[in-house]
Amino acid sequence: MTQSQSRPRTPANWHPAGQEREGLWILTRLRDFVDDIANTSPARLALTVFAAVCLLFTFLLSLPASSADGNVTPLHQAMFTAVSAVCVTGLTVVTTAVHWSFFGQLVILIAIFIGGLGTLTLASLLALMVSKRLGVRGKIIAAESMNNAGRLGEVGTLLRIVITTSVVIEAVLALVLIPRFLVLGESFWGAVWHGFFYAISSFNNAGFTAHADGIVPFASDLWILIPIMSGVFLGSLGFPVVMVLLQNGLNWKKWNLHTKLTIEVSLILFAAGSVLWALMEWDNQRTIGTMGIGDKVLHSVFASVQIRSGGFNLVDQNQMESTTMLLTDALMFAGGGSASTAGGIKVTTIAIMFLAIVAEARGDADVKVHGRTIPQGAMRVAISVIVAGATLVSVGSFLLLNISGAPLDRVLFEAISAFATCGLSTNLSAEVPPAGAYVLTALMFMGRVGTVTLAAALALRQRRQLYHYPEERPIIG
């Protein structure tokens, strides 16, 4: 294009009004883009938003101001930490309290809070902020993510309730923890910082610690451990359950099926985990074998709460018995409640599959529980989530075995912890080369958004068929 053919650069092009029009044009295009994705593929929007958030915090943690020594943190370490925080995992390649400056730790804490809201919540918020509305499909996914399908007009209110609930619970936990840190001799601002850090980290099931030795120095301090356990357990139930509890209290008859199944399975796993962990580690001199009965019970209960996603630990995971590590693998893979800050394949997935097995054993045509029938579509989604999770863990473990050369039990433990966004570690994350760190980073990201996005996508992809092929049953089992 010649100069005579080019667009003339008149003064209007450089006038603030012209720039304002260009800015409005860009905003309009962005609004249309987000609105189109929200309407056609909300799951893709959730994936895009979460990836963008992870990249943003990777950049912030790469800044010299984020490290304690003022140097630029290597990319694989910054990205690993950012994804671990946004995906509320808790795995680390560097010591949080030592490597990161106050600014870096603040960035991590903000990432935990934002990531704890969940992929679908963040995507819905972005669509509301940019396009000022959610499409019908976007409203369906946002409503179903909080178990409120059928009340699409209240999605904006529900999102505000989710954020408000998070802030209130975290503030209460912080107000309980701050006085204890003051009693332990910390300065006022130090106690405030640690109180809010552990409150946000526990409720979001992140497992990050603000002390160089973690929470091990508080191993027998109930004033510290009980609030942390309470925050982790509440966060693992999920926002839909917490909202039902706030509305109906302990009135079992008014609970919906999701709330009943989530609380039932969570309590069963908690009780079973406490008893089994205690039995396996009771005489282990490397962990709790030398402690009194009271401390042994406390450690067992604390471990059972943390295993399913909390990520805080009082004992060295490398020193546990092999059977305890296998138990931990299973409970980490199970995870917590749907639409929660916990990870794993979720307890309702386990409940549905268990009920399906029982129904098949009894010869029942329907899968029934608490006077309700589980739809066939829900069982297909549950199977998809389990298979997808097992496949991701298998592939990740295979890659880590080749990269690190570490024993299978450590590799499997770390891979499941990353996928289930639990955060318990045998310290393999800090030992693997950068390639291994990227594998674990991918596992954390896919574990946080992969199965949820898959479930959301499958829930809406119900095509109408005008014909059926003849049925033929293959041999199974």
Confidence of residue 225 (pLDDT cuts 50, 70, 90): very high
Please give the single-letter amino acid code of residue 427.
N
pLDDT for 477 beyond 80: no
User: In this predicted structure, what is the pLDDT of residue 22?
Assistant: 53
- If DSSP codes are grouped into helix, strand and coil, which group holds residue 287? coil
Quick one: pLDDT at residue 6? 44
Per-residue model confidence (pLDDT) at position 463: 60
Least confident window among 266-270, 307-311, 378-382: 378-382
- pLDDT band at 10; cut points 50, 70, 90: very low
Q: Does the structure show a pLDDT above 80 at 149?
A: no
Bridge-based pairing of strands 372-374 and 367-369 is antiparallel
- The tokens describing 138, both together, are 């976007």
**Residue 276 pLDDT greater than 50, yes or no:** yes
Q: Region 161-174: what's the mean pLDDT?
A: 89
The confidence band for 380, taking pLDDT boundaries of 50, 70 and 90, is confident
Query: Which residues have a Cβ under 8 Å from the Cβ of 372 and sit 6 or more positions away?
Result: 257
Residue 182 has pLDDT above 60, yes or no: yes
DSSP string covering 45-76, please?
HHHHHHHHHHHHHHHHHHSGGGBTTSSPPPHH
Query: What tokens does 69 get?
Result: 């020594």
Dihedral angle, C-alpha 422, 453, 235, 172, nearest 10 °: 120
pLDDT greater than 90 at residue 323: yes
Pairwise pLDDT comparison (338 vs 109), residue with the higher score: 109
Residue 204 CB coordination number (10 Å): 30
CA distance 46 to 224: 35
The pLDDT-based confidence of 124 (bands split at 50, 70, 90) is: low
The two tokens of residue 315 are 């004992």
- CB 421 within 8 Å of CB 451: no
Residue 38 lies in a domain: yes
Worst-scoring range by mean pLDDT, 19-33, 37-51, 296-310, 404-418?
19-33
Q: What is the CA radius of gyration of the chain?
A: 24
* Tokens coding 287: 């962990």
Residue span of the structural domain in which 415 resides:
20-460
Picking from 21-30, 274-283, 352-361, which range would have the lowest pLDDT averaged per residue? 21-30
Give the CA distances from residue 52 to residues 45, 85, 86, 279, 292, in Å, rounded to whole numbers and listed in that order: 10, 14, 11, 44, 49
Q: Quick one: average pLDDT of 50-74?
A: 94
Burial of 284 (0-12, 13-18, 19+ CB in 10 A): middle
User: What pLDDT, on the 0 to 100 scale, is given for residue 12?
Assistant: 46
Q: Is residue 11 part of a domain?
A: no
- Per-residue model confidence (pLDDT) at position 244: 86
Angle in degrees, CA 205, 231, 247, rounded to 5: 115
Query: If residue 261 lies in a helix (H) or strand (E), which one and from where to where?
Result: helix 257-281
> In this structure, is residue 431 part of a structural domain?
yes
Question: Which of helix, strand or coil describes residue 418?
Answer: helix
Q: What percent of the chain has pLDDT over 70?
A: 78
At 367 the three-state DSSP class reads strand
Q: What's the pLDDT at 459?
A: 53
Q: What is the mean pLDDT of residues 290-295?
A: 93
pLDDT of 449 reads 81
CA distance 163 to 114: 10
- Note whether residue 474 is domain-resident: no
What is d(CA 269, CA 267) in angstroms, rounded to the nearest whole number?
5
Torsion (CA) 153, 154, 155, 159 in degrees, nearest 10: 160
Average pLDDT, the chain: 83
Tell me whether residue 5 is in a domain. no
What residues contact 184, with CB distance under 8 A and at least 6 apart? none
Q: Give pLDDT, residue 36.
A: 53
Is 473 within a domain? Answer: no
Candidate from 120-134, 190-204, 275-289, 448-462 with smallest mean pLDDT:
120-134
Is the model's pLDDT at 362 over the cut of 50? Answer: yes
| Nearby residues of 194 by Cβ (< 8 Å), 6 or more positions away | 177, 178, 181, 186, 210, 211
> Does the residue 9 lie in any domain?
no
Residue 14 in domain: no
Mean pLDDT of 69-98: 94
More reliable by pLDDT, 416 or 40: 416
Res 298: pLDDT? 95
How many domains does one find in the chain?
Answer: 1
Q: What is the mean pLDDT of residues 281-305?
A: 95
Kindly tell me if the per-residue pLDDT of 151 is higher than 70: no
Pick from 472, 458, 448: nearest CA to 50: 448
CA dist., res. 242 & res. 336, Å (int): 13
Question: What six digits make up the tokens of 111?
Answer: 């990432």
Q: How confident is the model at residue 165 (pLDDT cuts 50, 70, 90)?
A: confident
What is the structure's pLDDT at 162?
A: 77
- For residue 31, the 8-state DSSP code is H
pLDDT higher than 90, residue 117: no
Per-residue tokens: 127? 């669509």
